[in-house]
Chains A and B, each alone.
Chain A
Amino acid sequence: MNTSTPSRTLSPDEVDAFGRELDALRHAVIADLGQRDVDHIRGVIRAVRYTEVAGRALLHFGVGPVSFALGAASLATSKILENMEVGHNVMHGQYDWTRDPALDARTYEWDTACTGDDWRHSHNYEHHTFTNVLGRDRDVGYGFLRVNAAQPWRPSHLAQPLTATLLALGFQWGVGTHDLRLSETLAGQQSVGELGRRARPFLRKAAWQIAKDYVIFPALALWGAPRVALGNLVANVARNLWTFAIIFCGHFPDGVRVYTAEETRDERRGDWYLRQLNGSANLEGGYLFHVMSGHLSHQIEHHLFPDLPAARYPELAPRVRALCEKYGQAYNTGGFRAQFGSVLATLARNALPRASDLRPSAA
């Protein structure tokens, strides 16, 4: 990990210069967008569709455990690619310049419990605008996990090794209910009526998702229904675990900074870039790993340039890293095992209060 040297504090002029250099990187990519970007995403969409059909066919018509495992793996691959490389990236507007309705950010709907509209609000707007700002970015611990010592400790955090595990297993439901603001409702900050209003589209989508994987497709398999339902469950859970791991590695490893609203009050563009950079962490890996992570393995580049096609991040990364060296900024990156290990350590460490958290004045 490259977190040994913390980021240097830049002068206002340096901040502006840093911002201009990143803007220049961004404009160079925008000027170069074209056929190869479209070919890439359509290739991934093709892979999504074919792995889905292959997976469902193996589950429906296969016999024995080998075809079951292959089928569930193929279906999980389809769901992962669809959620990560297609859904997440298309909904960021990364392909809006194509004006292809199949790649339209405003109408895309993905194969997960979270509705596209909720996601566009909670993720594209809140999380990407107020990244790692305590109290503004609800992705910092999702309202119930303590992922940074700057968050106040509550007794419920003692259970977070367990709650985090449950979240990982059912991650799509965590994401799906995120924008309903359940914890705010429990804390009395949101009325039950407002919760109901927010929940309606989610419930409709959730019903369809459950019906699709656990009623309709199993019913089509007649006596093979239990096998198909189980295969779909395995695929969904595998997708949940993978997305949980990748997403937690993006913001919660050691060395990632959080900010207070006060610090970000009069942010310039360069400051916003610095916050995105210091609030994110990368994962190293090969081409397939990057695509399967929806290029969130390049979380830093994604947060700097959320609406550039993600497949461009690997070519941007060396240039971003060179800028970080020039401006004395830490570039938090590491292998999956190291970064995820760091995430687990963070979760475990923050489950316990520091001595200062227990003093009455802190509460």
Chain B
Amino acid sequence: MSTARWRAPGAPAWLRTSLGSTVARRLFLDRAVDFWLGEVDPAWSLTERRARVVSVTRETRDATTFTLDPGARWPGNRAGQYATVDVEVDGARVRRCYSLASGPGERTVAITVKRVAGGRASNFMHDHLRPGAVVGLGDPRGDFVLPAALPARILLLSGGSGITPVMSMLRDLAARDALRDVAFVHCARTRDDVIFRAELEALAARHEGLTLTLSHDDEGGPLDAARLTALVPDAFEHDTFLCGPEGMMATFEAAWTRAGASRRLRRERFGAPRAVPAGVAPTTVTLRLSRSDRSHVTDAPGTLLEQLERAGERPAFGCRMGICNTCRCTRRAGAVVDTVTGVVSREPDEEIRLCTSVALTDVDLAL
């Protein structure tokens, strides 16, 4: 369980070997060595990757970019991937997933965080995270990436803070001098809310192959499919990378489906998982935790994580949106549906994520 929760990025090979048997390591040495490494430098650890904040840049009134030094063992990310970021807020670690805005091959990684009303992590980061601070950083993940063989025509379509993964792609394309037929369309509430505006405009001025369109909701309303095709007439012919708020995603997913081009649309979702499909999941099910020998009868709909927490359990969780895998556990019996993927899991001993799974029957969990 622990290795699933905190995937060790690995110590240098010589140090691993010299630490000897796994029993000894598991028992004490990792713990002791980690303590003393942390005494020397809080960014040093054998058991997890820690990154130091190098710079903090205000992008807009509610978005800030944090540039992180992930250390020498950062495996490198592909353009468009995300990573988990851990910050400690009032003594408790909070884990969030952020798309990396930086391009591959850069020595630092950048995340751009939008301040969310009431958000524990985003407000802490805006108010307290300064250069020199240390955060936890997971491995880069996700398949919302530029294909190895670049498509001939690319449309990067984003809204709000959804710009970060496509910005990474744009930076990658610019660095590889591959901006030949790229349309970049970004929506923001106002002109002042456009993250990376100066850099976008500079790139557009420098590269003829890049067409930049910034759409502001306060000047003509939110972008829709009709206006998009007016801006980019053959939009559906482009390999499109879409990331934005839920409403925007739904609008363009529908448009691409209608145009019979959903094969060319790739999406990255952020935000809370979709609502529990009404009428599918029974309200009252028994959740049996076979490791701790406890059972709870649920009285309200919700994800397994919500139901367990309401019952007083404290299962490990992270992103609460089905990405980081922190709340993964073995479902021994019963059936659940993943509200993000729609996959129904009913085979014995399958791994599920509590935060996105809804019980369809009584469930037995290895917790």
Q: Which residues of A are interface residues toward B (Cβ below 8 A)?
A: 33-39, 45, 49, 93, 96-102, 104, 106-107, 109, 111, 125, 204-205, 208, 212
C-alpha spacing A33/B90, complex, angstroms: 8
Q: Which of B21-29, B69-77, B158-166, B271-279 contacts A (4 or more CB under 8 A)?
A: B21-29
Chain B window 10-40, contacts with chain A (Cβ cutoff 8 Å), 1 for yes, 0 for no: 0000000000000110111001101110010
Interface string of B28-71 (1 = CB under 8 A from A): 10011011100100000001100000000000000000000000
Q: How far is the CA of A106 from the CA of B5 in the complex (A)?
A: 11
Whole-angstrom CA separation of A261 from B36 in the bound complex? 48
Asked whether any CB of chain A lies closer than 8 Å to the CB of B196, the reply is: no
Q: Is B91 an interface residue (CB 8 A)?
A: yes
B6 interface residue, CB < 8 Å from A?
yes
With A98-B92, A107-B2 given, can you name 4 additional A-B contacts, CB distance below 8 Å? A39-B91, A205-B27, A208-B27, A212-B28
Report B220-273 residues with CB < 8 Å from chain A CB.
none
Given A37-B91, A38-B91, A97-B92, A106–B1 Cβ distance below 8 Å? yes
B36 touches A49 (CB 8 A): yes
Decide yes or no: A96 and B314 within 8 Å by CB, A49-B35, A107-B2, A109-B28 being known contacts: yes
Question: Which residues of B sit under 8 angstroms from A39, Cβ to Cβ?
Answer: 91
Contacts A97-B314, A101-B2 given; indicate if A109 touches B26 (C-beta within 8 A).
Answer: yes
Interchain CB contact under 8 A, B90 and A34: yes
B26 touching A34, Cβ below 8 Å:
no
Cα–Cα distance between A126 and B114 once the two chains are bound (Å):
47
CB pair B2–A99 under 8 Å, yes or no, is no
* Contact A100 B93, CB 8 Å, known A208-B23, A208-B27: yes
List which B87-145 residues lie within 8 A (CB) of chain A: 88, 90-95
Q: Which residue of B lies closest to A216 (CB)?
A: B24
Give, as a whole number of angstroms, the nearest-CB distance from A215 to chain B: 12
Is the beta-carbon distance between B32 and A208 smaller than 8 angstroms?
no
Of all chain A residues, the one with the shortest Cβ separation from B90 is A34
Q: Which of A45, A99, A204 has a CB less than 8 Å from the CB of B316?
A: A99
CB pairs A–B below 8 angstroms (11 shown):
A33-B91, A34-B92, A49-B36, A49-B39, A97-B314, A98-B92, A98-B93, A99-B93, A101-B47, A205-B27, A208-B24
A98 with B314: CB separation less than 8 A: no
Contacts of B28 in A (CB 8 A): 109, 111, 212
Give, as a whole number of angstroms, the nearest-CB distance from B166 to chain A.
31
Interchain nearest-CB distance for A147 vs B (Å)? 27
Chain B residues lying within 8 Å of A107, measured Cβ to Cβ, are 1-2
Question: In the complex, what's the smallest C-beta–C-beta distance from A41 to chain B, in angstroms?
Answer: 10
Interface pair A104/B2, CB less than 8 Å apart: yes
Report yes or no: B314 in contact with A102, Cβ–Cβ below 8 A: no
Given the complex, which residues of A lie within 8 Å of B24, measured CB to CB? 208
CB distance from B323 to the nearest CB of A (A): 16
Q: Which residue of A lies closest to B34 (CB)?
A: A102
- Determine the chain B residues whose CB is within 8 A of the CB of A111 once the complex forms: 28
Residues of A within 8 A of B316 (CB): 99
Q: Which residues of A contact B39 (CB under 8 A)?
A: 49
Residue of B nearest to A201 (CB): B23
Give the docked Cα–Cα distance between A341 and B32 (Å).
38
Distance in angstroms from A148 CB to nearest chain B CB is 27
Chain B residues, CB < 8 A from A204: 23
- Known interface pairs A45-B35, A49-B35. Does A35 touch B2 (Cβ–Cβ under 8 Å)? no
Residue ID in chain A nearest B6 by CB atoms: A101
Docked pose: A38 CA to B36 CA in angstroms: 18
Given known A-B contacts A97-B314, A106-B2, A35 and B90 have beta carbons under 8 A apart: yes
Q: Which residues of B contact A109 (CB under 8 A)?
A: 26-28, 31
Task: Give the complex CA separation of A347 and B56 in angstroms.
Answer: 65
Smallest CB gap from A97: residue in B: B92
- A335, B38: Cα distance in complex, Å: 39
- A49 neighbours in B (Cβ, 8 Å): 32, 35-36, 39
Smallest CB-CB separation from B86: which chain A residue?
A: A99
Taking the closest CB of chain A, its distance from the CB of B262, in whole angstroms, is 38
Residues of A within 8 A of B1 (CB): 106-107
Which residues of the other chain, B, contact A35 by a CB distance below 8 angstroms? 90-91
